[in-house]
Structure formats: C-alpha cells, structure tokens
Amino acid sequence: MADLNIPNLNIKSDKNIFKKKLNLRRKSNRRLFTESFLLFILSALLVFINYLIPNKNLLLQNLPSTFNKSFLLLIDLFSYLYEIFLVIFIFVFSFIALILMIGSLNRLFRVFKRKSKQFVYK
C-alpha cells in the first residue's frame, strides 16, 4: 500500500502554460517615430525601384499572353517528364527482368548439374 500514488487535487492546473507572454508596455514616442521613419524610407525605396522599371505599360498589356505561354510550356514540360519517366521505367524493369532470368537459368543449371553427378551404388 506504500506504493499507491494518490493524485493531489489541490494543485491548480497550468492552463496558460504554453501561451505566449505579451509585453504590455507601450512603446516610447521616439521609438514609434524611428519605426515610422524607417517604414517611410523603405516605401520610398520601393516606389523608386518601381519607377526605374522600363516599359511598365507594355509589360502589363502582355501579361495575359505571357501567362498563356507559360502555362503551355508547363504542360509541355509535364508531357516530356512523362516520356522521360516512361523510358526510365522501361530500362529499369528490363534490367530487373534480365537479372531475374539469369538467376532462374543459374538455378536450373545447378539443379541439372546436381542430378548428373549423383551415382547410384547397389
């Protein structure tokens, strides 16, 4: 009876043990200003890079035909991959069939060889 473990019902379960502890302190005005300034600089950099791209209107007009061509190329790629995998399948299974035939002929040769060497003495 000394090995009997009785659970203690007075222990509170840790329901929130895996919840992330949130930092409830407010950010200072200086930190908010620096973060907003960095965000503004980043957005200005992205607008400048977008401005440097030549022929934006032409690129946007050709977008549907580009998607169509890429989709057709993707279909061709999968059809060629199917043919490649089919050829690999043929070679691999032909090689396996050759190994199995050689093994079966080897066993047949051993069976016939054993019977021919046996002499019956009376």
Tens digits of per-residue pLDDT, 12-52? Answer: 666 666 666 666 678 888 899 999 999 999 999 999 999 99
Q: Are residues 79 and 48 in the same domain?
A: no
Q: Are residues 73 and 109 in the same domain?
A: yes
Give the CA distances from residue 97 to residues 75, 76, 92, 102, in Å, rounded to whole numbers and listed in that order. Answer: 33, 31, 9, 9
pLDDT tens profile 78-102: 989 999 999 999 999 999 999 999 9
| Residue 81 belongs to some domain of the structure | yes
- 31 token code pair: 């930190």
Name the residue range of residue 29's domain: 25-54
Q: Report how far residue 122's alpha carbon sits from residue 59's, in angstroms, rounded to the nearest whole number.
A: 99
Total domains in the chain come to 2
Q: What is the pTM of this model?
A: 0.42
Concatenated DSSP letters for 79-113?
Answer: HHHHHHHHHHHHHHHHHHHHHHHHHHHHHHHHHHH
Q: Are residues 68 and 43 in the same domain?
A: no
Q: Are residues 46 and 67 in the same domain?
A: no
| Residue 100 belongs to some domain of the structure | yes
| Residue 9 belongs to some domain of the structure | no
